[in-house]
């Protein structure tokens, strides 16, 4: 009874992984082996280190090691017939044997939950219906005194299953933005963003017809004639117009310290749809 919330301290161990110290306070009640009720109030300090490594599938993993339990204080209420010093010595030796088996598995259970999160990080992510994205570790995890760095490689597949080639060069730490305290940072390269947009390239294709885009005047030949007078002389007014947008080549992403730029290259082909004949292409704009 009276199991208090643990007090947890975490520190990064450079080159290793994670060090944790957990203060556990609880009260144990039950029957004494010589009869009568017995109550033990104890405080124990659990210390454990965990190694952060990379498995064969390229997934980061935590594994626990060096779990120790140190008794901070033990207070007992025992039957009056028991000698306090004898009982204290017995409790101390017994608890030193029992507590590691009771508390150290809790460390493993917590690390298993974290490892399960890492496993989902490397599962395939659908990019709509255009393809999939998957992450895997490019290098073993790097642990310093202030942060953990995970260098990820990205695996892009088009919907047909074909893998999209990506440059393998990684930016050096000196060229990355400064690390902010108590924050998680995700650094994405321009090459990756360009490749991801290229997988989504066909998703940018669309046909714009009347009433599809709010705020535009009706998409009819009269509207085009106000912009291009030659159209009014060769086409009847009020004929429906459809704009067919098609991506012309792969998008390009450029990143600099001051700004980022995404260039999308497409064509806009204008079609007129007479009621009594097949659609006719009027002109094509490069955008």
Mean pLDDT of 28-32: 81
Q: Is residue 174 part of a domain?
A: no
On whether both 114 and 198 belong to a single domain, the answer is: no
Confidence at residue 176, expressed as pLDDT on a 0 to 100 scale: 66
CATH number at residue 86: 3.15.10.10
Domain span holding position 91: 3-119
* Least confident stretch, 43-47, 61-65, 232-236, 259-263: 232-236
Distances (CA, A) of 265 to 246, 259, 270: 9, 20, 17
For 195-217, what is each residue's pLDDT tens digit? Answer: 899 888 888 898 888 766 677 77
Q: Is residue 191 part of a domain?
A: yes
Side-chain half-sphere exposure of 163, counting CA atoms within 13 A: 7
Confidence at residue 96, expressed as pLDDT on a 0 to 100 scale: 82
Mean pLDDT of 189-200: 88
Q: Is residue 245 part of a domain?
A: yes
Confidence at residue 86, expressed as pLDDT on a 0 to 100 scale: 66
Of 74, 75, 98, 80, whose CA–CA distance to 35 is shortest? 80
Confidence at residue 2, expressed as pLDDT on a 0 to 100 scale: 81
On whether both 7 and 107 belong to a single domain, the answer is: yes
Res. 287: pLDDT tops 70: yes
> What backbone torsions phi and psi does residue 47 show, to the nearest 5 degrees?
-125, 140
* CA–CA dist 104, 98 (Å, integer): 10
Confidence at residue 168, expressed as pLDDT on a 0 to 100 scale: 67
Confidence at residue 240, expressed as pLDDT on a 0 to 100 scale: 87
Distances (CA, A) of 170 to 135, 187, 195, 222: 15, 11, 15, 54
Q: Is residue 73 part of a domain?
A: yes
Residue count of the chain, please give it.
287
Domain closes at, from 119, 136, 163: 119
Q: Is residue 126 part of a domain?
A: no
Q: Is residue 124 part of a domain?
A: no
On whether both 277 and 191 belong to a single domain, the answer is: yes
Mean pLDDT of 151-167: 86
Report the predicted TM-score, pTM, of the whole model to 2 decimal places. 0.67
Res. 114: pLDDT tops 70: yes
How many independent structural domains does the chain possess? 2
On whether both 11 and 115 belong to a single domain, the answer is: yes
- Compute the CA torsion angle 60, 66, 67, 69 (nearest 10 deg): -160
Confidence at residue 215, expressed as pLDDT on a 0 to 100 scale: 74
**Mean model confidence pLDDT for the chain:** 85
User: Per mean pLDDT, which of 23-32, 88-97, 180-189 is the most reliable?
Assistant: 23-32
Confidence at residue 81, expressed as pLDDT on a 0 to 100 scale: 57
Res. 173: pLDDT tops 60: no
Confidence at residue 44, expressed as pLDDT on a 0 to 100 scale: 92
For 243-286, what is each residue's pLDDT tens digit? Answer: 999 999 889 999 887 899 999 999 999 998 777 788 889 899 99
Res. 237: pLDDT tops 80: yes
Percent of the chain with pLDDT over 90: 33
Look up residue 286 and give its two tokens: 């490069």
Q: Is residue 98 very low, low, confident or very high in pLDDT (cuts 50, 70, 90)? A: confident
Sequence-ordered strand ranges (E) for the chain:
7-13, 17-31, 37-54, 60-77, 125-127, 131-137, 142-143, 148-149, 152-158, 163-164, 206-208, 241-255, 260-272, 280-286
On whether both 93 and 195 belong to a single domain, the answer is: no
On whether both 9 and 115 belong to a single domain, the answer is: yes
Q: Is residue 28 part of a domain?
A: yes
Domain closes at, from 88, 119, 150: 119
* CA–CA dist 235, 170 (Å, integer): 56
Q: Is residue 115 very low, low, confident or very high in pLDDT (cuts 50, 70, 90)? A: very high
Q: Is residue 164 part of a domain?
A: no
Mean pLDDT of 102-129: 90
On whether both 9 and 111 belong to a single domain, the answer is: yes
Mean pLDDT of 154-166: 87
Domain closes at, from 119, 141, 167: 119
Confidence at residue 279, expressed as pLDDT on a 0 to 100 scale: 86
């Amino acid at each position: 009874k009276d199991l208090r919330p643990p007090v947890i301290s975490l520190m990064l161990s450079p080159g290793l992984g994670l060090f944790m110290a957990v203060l556990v306070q609880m009260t144990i009640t039950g029957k004494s082996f010589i009869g009568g009720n017995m109550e033990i109030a104890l405080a124990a300090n659990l210390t454990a280190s965990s190694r952060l490594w990379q498995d064969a599938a390229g997934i980061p993993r935590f594994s626990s090691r060096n779990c120790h339990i140190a008794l901070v204080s033990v207070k007992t209420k025992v039957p009056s017939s028991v000698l306090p010093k004898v009982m204290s010595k017995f409790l101390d030796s017994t608890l030193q044997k029992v507590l590691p088996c009771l508390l150290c598995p809790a460390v493993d259970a917590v690390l298993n939950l974290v490892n399960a999160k890492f496993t989902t990080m490397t599962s395939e992510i659908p990019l709509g219906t255009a393809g999939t994205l998957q992450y895997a570790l490019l290098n073993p995890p790097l642990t310093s005194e202030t942060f953990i760095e995970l260098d990820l490689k990205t695996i892009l597949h088009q919907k047909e299953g074909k893998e999209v080639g990506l440059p393998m060069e990684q930016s050096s730490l000196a060229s990355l933005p400064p690390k902010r305290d108590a924050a998680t940072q995700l650094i994405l390269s321009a090459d990756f963003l360009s490749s991801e947009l290229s997988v989504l390239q066909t998703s940018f294709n669309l046909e714009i017809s009347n009433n599809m885009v709010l705020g535009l005047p009706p998409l009819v030949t009269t509207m085009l004639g106000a912009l291009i007078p030659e159209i009014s002389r060769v086409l009847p007014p009020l004929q429906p117009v459809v704009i067919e947008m098609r991506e012309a080549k792969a998008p390009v992403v450029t990143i600099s310290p001051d700004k980022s730029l995404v260039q999308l290259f497409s064509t806009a082909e204008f079609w007129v749809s007479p009621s009594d004949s097949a659609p006719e292409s009027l002109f094509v704009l490069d955008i």
